[in-house]
Amino acid sequence: MDDTRSSVNRRHFLAAGTASVAGAALACGATPETTDADAPQESPDMATTVVRPPEGKRILISVKLGMVPGVEDGKKTLPLADRLKIAGEAGFDGVDLDQAGLYTPEEARDAVQSSGVFVHNAINHDHWKMRLTSADEAERAQGRANIEHCIRVSHAAGGSGVLIVIGRADDGPADEVVERSRQEIKKLLPLAASLGQMILIENVWNKMFYDHDGKPEQSPDQFIEYVDSFNSPWVGMYYDIGNHWKYGQPGDWIRAFGRRCVKLDAKGFSREKDDWADIGEGDLPWADVRKALDEIGFSGWAAAEVEGGDVDRLTTVCQQMRKAFGV
């Protein structure tokens, strides 16, 4: 008999033997004694409510935490849980924690539990200062550490990813800048995979993967090439629909991204005025955006990224989002 079978049989015998002894004792009229130590103990986790986003929705609407007031009456700092509650009161399905650097993973977890409002993502805006494209190794290391913190915060809160800005094109020669960022992201993948968090690259005006001074009808091919270079299910796009309306048709970019398009940022933009606008305002072709999302079978989160404010303002933004996405 091999060791595995022997071990299993021993465990079975011991379990059966214990049950038989207990049964015999009861049959003889003995009353088993129980102590507090024997009684089932409720662990802290047993009393914890699992916070989930609404189910059955193809597109879930969220708001950046930075749009939610952080102070009350101009002086009192609001706890994270209170800010999440404000977002929920305004009608959002969840929150993108874009101030993740201010909170520990435990604080984020506790705030979600206390508020009952789901957090689906984390961001640290220091990615503009501590860039993965920097020629300074210490800056890249700090940028990577910031993203690692975001990964842990999102995981603790129950989220599924982190948004990153990889850097700036003016950090050096194009090939070197891209390769620096690629190597830093590769170092992040083991942690991201172990915690089930996607690293999502936002398209921003950093002069990378598009021609900043070029024609308006550009393609997202360079973004796609960069994402595909990782050959990893843990790297995708957090596509900002408004950011690159100036440079390309958002519906066509969504179709090209396909499965790579994991989450969405939303803001308005006017090509005519060359300026930002509220969601649904300006001349961004929302009808084609909705059509493209249908064509690629998109399901996931869309986050508002416009001027925030009080509950009334946030409620208006939430309504604008639902109208823009047709949900």
pLDDT of amino acid 48: 67
Give, in degrees to the nearest 5, the angle at Cα 125 between 123 and 126.
120
pLDDT of amino acid 7: 38
Regions of the chain short of the pLDDT cut 50: 1-47
* R_g over Cα of the chain: 25
Residue count of the chain, please give it.
Answer: 327
pTM of the prediction? Answer: 0.84
Question: pLDDT digit string (tens) for 244-269?
Answer: 999 999 999 999 999 999 999 999 99
| Phi, psi (degrees; rounded to nearest 5) at 160 | -130, 5
Report whether 185 contacts 199 (CB < 8 A).
Answer: yes
pLDDT of amino acid 25: 36
How many H helices and E strands in the chain?
9, 12
CA nearest neighbour of 99 among 153, 156, 170, 159: 153
Per DSSP, the three-state class of 273 is coil
Domains of the chain are 1-41 (no CATH), 57-325 (3.20.20.150)
Distance of alpha carbon 87 from alpha carbon 53, whole angstroms: 13
CA distances from 79 to 85, 102, 163, 222 (A): 10, 11, 23, 41
Question: pLDDT digit string (tens) for 90-145?
Answer: 999 999 999 999 999 999 999 999 999 999 999 988 899 999 999 999 999 999 99
Report whether 283 contacts 318 (CB < 8 A).
Answer: no
pLDDT of amino acid 321: 98
pLDDT of amino acid 76: 73
Q: Is 72 exposed, middle or buried (0-12, 13-18, 19+ CB in 10 A)?
A: exposed
| Residue in this structure with the two tokens 């999502």, named with its chain if needed | 200
Per-residue tokens: 28: 């003889």
